Homo-oligomer: A and B are copies of this chain.
């Protein structure tokens, strides 16, 4: 089963992953880092671009992906860079959904 077929609707998300599950999934991603912000585990990655317009265009592509799955990251757009953070607010932690969308972000 492909990763994207395993996306869980928000209403059915109930439990955050534990640290072993997180470590296993993180190893499958490309250069995403695990951070903790306000006590919540999150996936973070910086994407670099040649100017502001390209960065903002990427933010919009991630935004379209987020709307498609009704799961939304934090996107910090500045000149030549977008920082993305994925987590699941409902469970105040990480769900497989976040890894699925981090992987999809890389493929945009």
Q: Which residues in A have some Cβ–Cβ distance to B below 8 Å?
A: 52-53, 56, 59-60, 63, 66-67, 72-79
Contact = CB atoms under 8 A, between A and B. Distances in A.
21 contacts: A52-B63, A52-B66, A52-B67, A52-B72, A53-B63, A56-B59, A56-B60, A56-B63, A59-B59, A59-B77, A60-B60, A72-B78, A72-B79, A73-B78, A74-B76, A75-B76, A75-B77, A75-B78, A76-B76, A76-B77, A77-B77
Given A72-B79, A77-B77, 8 more contacts: A52-B63, A52-B72, A56-B59, A56-B60, A56-B63, A74-B77, A75-B78, A76-B76
A61 to B, nearest CB: 11
Nearest to A80: B72
Contacts of A76: 74-77
A63 B73 CA distance: 19
Contacts of A63: 52-53, 56, 77
